[in-house]
Amino acid sequence: MSFCGRFGAAIRCIAFLVFQSSATAAQAVPLVDYHLHLFSPAIVELSSTASSSARLPPIAANDLVAQLDAAGIRRGLVLSVAYMYGNPNTPPVANEYARVKAENDWTAEQVAQFPNRLRAFCSFNPLKDYALDELARCAKDPQLHAGLKLHFGNSDVQLDNAQHVAQLRRVFRAANDYRLPISAIPERRLIRDSRHPRPDRAPEFCWALR
């Protein structure tokens, strides 16, 4: 039985979601937006120095809720972007783990301002030495114990690397013990080679973690 099959109740392998739009012009407004990000001043600064792409705009919880209101959406799931500090394809960050914790904590503080509107998933690079420590810390946080966000592309996870897969299994099993759902994005748009899984290869992703 595959990994996802054995742990389906507690861990959701969210590899890709396909939406079919209505054939009519009118389309129902979703009640929940399950993929939202907040950008702290620290992350905005990181984005301006770590890449040549456009600088990220600062987005706090009040900005996000205003956007949800404008769209008629009741609630939102905020996915922390703390994993950005562990991107191995950008210049190293001093005190990396401290910054990962700070970003997750900032996200928690923001979401706590709107307890009836927002929930948060913590995040980190699952291949880092501090991954299990941060998972344990997030699992105890009243704002971050809703779940875990993993971004395989940003973290440069290689599913054909036995050490990477072994570490992912440890993280997934620990998350299962904490009963944390996982949002995992196995994509390659930020990756250096073509060996990474694409969204249309989600079954291979689950099979690698069986």
Model confidence pLDDT, tens digit, residues 110-155: 999 999 999 999 999 999 999 999 999 999 999 999 999 999 989 9
Nearest to 171 by CA among 133, 117, 144, 115: 133
Nearest to 149 by CA among 163, 128, 135: 135
Top pLDDT among 89 and 190 is at 89
Bridge partner residues of 78 (DSSP)? 36, 120
- On whether the CB atoms of residues 158 and 195 are closer than 8 A, the answer is yes
pTM: 0.78
Q: Return the structure tokens found at 118.
A: 């927002």
DSSP state for residue 183 in the 8-state scheme: E
Top pLDDT among 21 and 111 is at 111
The mean-pLDDT minimum among 2-11, 45-54, 110-119, 137-146 falls in: 2-11
pLDDT score for 8: 39
The three-point CA angle 158-160-162 to 5° equals: 95
Is residue 176 over pLDDT 60? yes
Q: Is 116 exposed, middle or buried (0-12, 13-18, 19+ CB in 10 A)?
A: exposed
pLDDT average, residue stretch 174-190: 83
pLDDT average, residue stretch 172-179: 97
- On whether the CB atoms of residues 104 and 122 are closer than 8 A, the answer is yes
pLDDT score for 13: 40
pLDDT score for 28: 80
Is residue 1 over pLDDT 50? no
pLDDT score for 30: 85
Is residue 23 over pLDDT 70? no
Mean pLDDT over each residue of the chain, to the nearest integer: 81
| Residue 188 pLDDT grade (very low, low, confident, very high; cuts 50, 70, 90) | low
The mean-pLDDT minimum among 35-49, 56-70, 141-155, 190-204 falls in: 190-204
Is residue 81 over pLDDT 80? yes
Q: Work out whether strand 32-36 and strand 75-79 pair parallel, antiparallel, or are unpaired.
A: parallel
Greatest pairwise CA separation for the chain in angstroms: 52
Task: Report the CATH fold assignment for 3-13+29-208.
Answer: TIM Barrel (3.20.20)
| Residue 205 pLDDT grade (very low, low, confident, very high; cuts 50, 70, 90) | low
- On whether the CB atoms of residues 175 and 184 are closer than 8 A, the answer is no
pLDDT score for 49: 76
pLDDT average, residue stretch 40-63: 83
